[in-house]
């Protein structure tokens, strides 16, 4: 017959084994989650094509390509003369050297009660050294690289030979010269299309890794200057969408009706958002900040669109 001491010892050993197993399971869970996340990123299937009216004067198209590589292309076409359409560039502090506080595109849309928002110009300072070591975080001060204005307040005089889209108080848009007094203005880093033709020499001379497929954002106007075309291409997501070169981006702009068009900040910055259920932001594309799909990067400025009349779906 076993003594009470033997029974106590056996219980302690059993308890230790259970604790050891529990610790092993807890340690194994993050490894499993990371493995599933890695597999999802690598094997994530492409979405289905889509073409729909989002608001009066705003249509959205999602185009899927498999050649020359997987590519998901998001196109918003905005009739600038449609009822209820107006624009906003992220406001900045005109008295500060770093006039902007970094926001995700979703934050910008929510803060200003917009219906559509897309990332804008490149900005500085910026670095990305690892998952936790990057700048800016939300709320950190930054400055746009090019010329920028919001509702008549010019907060960046830097031109640096960057192209600029100007949008007047009456919501007329034109590249590289304002229509009347400066109202909203946002810059890119390179003209891709001029008079319906790709600017090949400038693209080849670009120092933005133009020949490497990347996530991209671009703005264009049709020949009449009436329709604003916003292109966002997902990238860095192997089976889903690997991105586009600048030459391909120029060709896509032309195929969507762009007569003049410029490249915006791309890579992990490329984000397109609409107002979803209950006014909450809803991603239209798949941004990739810190190599994590659907994670948004805090950026400098953005272009926002108000559309008060929702179209019938």
With beta carbons less than 8 A apart as the criterion, state whether 265 and 272 touch.
no
Residues 257 and 280: their CA atoms lie apart, in Å, by: 31
- Average pLDDT on 221-246 reads 97
pLDDT in tens, 118-163: 999 999 999 998 888 999 999 999 999 999 999 999 999 976 689 9
Select from 219, 222, 245, 244 the least CA-distant residue to 233.
244
Strands (E), 58-140: 58-65, 71-79, 85-89, 100-101, 116-119, 123-124, 127-128, 134-135
Pairing relationship of beta strands 272-275 and 281-283 according to DSSP bridges: antiparallel
- Average pLDDT on 159-183 reads 94
pLDDT in tens, 18-49: 555 566 666 566 665 555 555 666 679 999 99
pLDDT in tens, 66-123: 999 999 999 999 999 999 999 999 999 999 999 999 999 999 999 999 999 999 999 9
- What percentage of the chain's residues is helix, strand, coil (to nearest 5)? 20, 35, 40
pLDDT in tens, 264-278: 999 999 999 999 988
The pLDDT score that the predictor gives to residue 312 is 46
With beta carbons less than 8 A apart as the criterion, state whether 231 and 256 touch.
yes
When mean pLDDT is compared across 199-203, 225-229, 283-287, 301-305, the lowest value belongs to 199-203
Q: Could you state, in order of their start, the residue ranges of all structural domains in the chain?
A: 1-43, 47-307
- Torsion angle (degrees, nearest 10) of CA 132, 138, 142, 147: 130
Structure tokens at 90: 């992220």
Select from 178, 98, 203 the least CA-distant residue to 145.
98
Q: Which residues pair with 86 in a beta bridge?
A: 306
Cβ neighbours of residue 81 closer than 8 Å, sequence gap 6 or more: 57, 171, 226
pLDDT in tens, 44-74: 999 999 999 999 999 999 999 999 999 999 9
- Average pLDDT on 204-219 reads 81
């Amino acid at each position: 017959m076993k003594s009470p001491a033997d029974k106590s010892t056996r219980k302690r050993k059993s308890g230790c084994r259970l604790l050891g197993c529990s610790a092993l399971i807890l340690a194994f869970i993050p490894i499993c989650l990371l493995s599933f996340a890695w597999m999802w990123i690598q094997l994530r299937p492409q979405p289905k094509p889509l073409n729909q009216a989002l608001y009066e004067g705003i249509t959205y198209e999602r185009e899927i390509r498999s050649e020359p590589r997987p590519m998901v292309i998001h196109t918003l076409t905005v009739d600038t003369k449609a009822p209820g359409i107006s624009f906003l560039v992220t406001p900045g502090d005109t008295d500060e050297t770093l006039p902007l506080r970094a926001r995700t595109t979703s934050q910008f849309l929510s803060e200003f009660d917009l219906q559509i928002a897309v990332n804008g110009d490149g900005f500085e300072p910026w670095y990305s050294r690892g998952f936790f070591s990057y700048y800016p975080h939300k709320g950190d001060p930054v400055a746009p690289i090019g010329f920028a204005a919001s509702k008549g307040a010019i907060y960046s005089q830097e031109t640096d030979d960057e192209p600029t889209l100007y949008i007047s108080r009456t919501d007329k848009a034109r590249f590289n010269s304002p229509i009347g007094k400066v109202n909203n203005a946002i810059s890119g880093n390179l003209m891709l299309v001029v008079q319906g033709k790709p600017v090949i020499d400038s693209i080849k001379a670009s120092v933005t890794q133009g020949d490497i497929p990347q996530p991209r954002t671009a703005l264009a106007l049709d020949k009449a200057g009436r329709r604003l075309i916003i292109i966002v291409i997902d990238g860095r997501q192997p089976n889903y969408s690997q991105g586009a070169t600048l030459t391909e981006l120029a060709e896509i702009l032309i195929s969507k009706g762009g007569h003049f068009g410029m490249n915006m900040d791309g890579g992990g910055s490329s984000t397109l958002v609409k107002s979803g259920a209950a006014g909450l932001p809803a991603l239209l594309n798949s941004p990739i900040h810190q190599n994590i799909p659907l994670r948004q990067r805090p950026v400098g400025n953005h272009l926002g669109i108000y559309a008060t009349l929702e179209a019938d779906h």
